[in-house]
Homo-oligomer: A and B are copies of this chain.
Amino acid sequence: MTTPTSRTTSARRLHDPQARGFASDNYAGVHPEVLEAIALANGGHQVSYGADAYTEHLQDVFRGHFGGHATAYPVFNGTGANVVALQAVTERWQSVICAASAHIHVDECGAPEKMGGLKLLPVGAPLGTLTLDAIDTQAYGFDDQHRAQPGVVSITQSTELGTLYSVEEIAEIVEHAHTLGMAVHLDGARIANAAAALDRPLRDFTTDVGVDIVSFGGTKNGLMLGEAVVVLNPDAVRGMDYLRKSSMQLASKMRFLSAQFDALLSGDLWLRNARHANAMAQRLETAVRAIPGVQVLRPVQANAVFAVLPQDVTARLQKLYPFYVWDESTGEVRWMTSFDTTEADVDSFAAALRAELVAD
């Protein structure tokens, strides 16, 4: 075997760094400040598996946002965060009440069931938000041995449908759940967008209203990758360290997850990114609502716009700007904005859409 003699880097660019679309906030890359943080965390040795300086410091950062009892456990991705968090607040025989549109039910390939052994009890939620009545359709049968015991209510904030719970709505759900002996998990894959939209600190709609555990999203808000399970109510949670490891979510070089979160959360980057993405969604909504033939069906409260378009228009437009069809049967499409969406992106997209529909 001959030793290669070249020592030039293999690092290369294979894509157009100017191309953007409205497909998903996870099509975006890494915010430059986050990348800089990764570079600064590099070099030398740091204890692996979370006993590093960055992860230690991160606890203060999260406590600044969520209060002094919060503990953050960085993990790799949102599915991992959710499955770890849900296991941590349930017994083996319990189940999870969630919206039928919840990511944990729809988009995790059965990970909660297959990896966590968790039964899901999906309930109807046309706007993506659970109501007390909807919860009550499944919150029964406590002490009935035939029934996987409802142990936790999982809500998503902002929701998979681009909508928001008000602080009061979450407070009501938590009170209701706690009264029935259930914990509350908040899937915060886009929690920053929610805080920005509500114009409220993170703890206002989590810690302070009694949410027990949060999947805190970083990836969709400018990280390279990284989510964190944030334990708000230690009394409701067991075994986090072991569950993170056995759920294959324990990073060896954890400093690089924690440094990203530090960049995002120590200052206002998380909020700047989220506000910008939300503002771009508002701009897009305003623009498309003014176009005849476009129907915006749901409130635009975070960084998603859902609209119904003629199918042929969708097909042609997708060639210019990637985005997803949400519902083949109705022609509803989803447009996501992200921290790197520009006003020009929105305006030119809206112009193209207008051209299509006027041309039609």
Interface residues in chain A, defined as those with a beta carbon under 8 Å from any beta carbon in chain B: 1, 3-4, 6-21, 23-24, 26-30, 32-49, 52-54, 57, 76-80, 83, 87, 91-93, 95, 106-111, 113-115, 117-120, 122, 145-149, 199-201, 219-220, 224-225, 238-239, 241-253, 255-257, 259, 262-269, 271-272, 275, 322, 340
Contacts and interface: CB of A to CB of B under 8 A. Distances in A.
A4 B146 contact: no
A54 B16 CA distance: 12
Contacts of A36: 9, 11
A259 B40 CA distance: 20
B113 A115 contact: no
Given A7-B272, A93-B243, A44 B26 contact: no
A46 to B, nearest CB: 6
A118 B107 contact: no
Given A15-B52, A15-B54, A239-B92, A252 B30 contact: no
A147 B7 contact: no
Nearest to A45: B27
Contacts of A13: 40-41
Main secondary structure, interface of A, reads loop
Copies in the complex: 4
B225 A253 contact: yes
A267 B111 contact: no
Contact of A76 (B7, B41, B107, B248): B248
Contacts of A21: 45
Given A93-B110, A107-B146, A246-B111, A4 B43 contact: no
Given A118-B113, A248-B76, A49 B145 contact: yes
A43 B29 CA distance: 5
Contact of A92 (B243, B256, B322): B243
15 contacts: A3-B271, A9-B37, A9-B263, A10-B266, A14-B41, A17-B43, A18-B44, A20-B44, A26-B252, A29-B41, A38-B224, A76-B80, A76-B225, A76-B248, A93-B246
A44 B15 contact: yes
Contact of A15 (B6, B46, B48, B95): B46
Contacts of A39: 11, 35
A246 B44 contact: no
A241 B54 CA distance: 33
A244 B269 CA distance: 31
Lowest 8 A-B CB distances belong to which pairs? A17-B43, A110-B148, A93-B242, A11-B37, A4-B268, A110-B119, A10-B266, A27-B45
A185 to B, nearest CB: 16
Nearest to A245: B109
A268 B2 CA distance: 11
Contacts of A92: 87, 92, 114, 117, 239, 242-243, 246
A273 to B, nearest CB: 12
A3 to B, nearest CB: 7
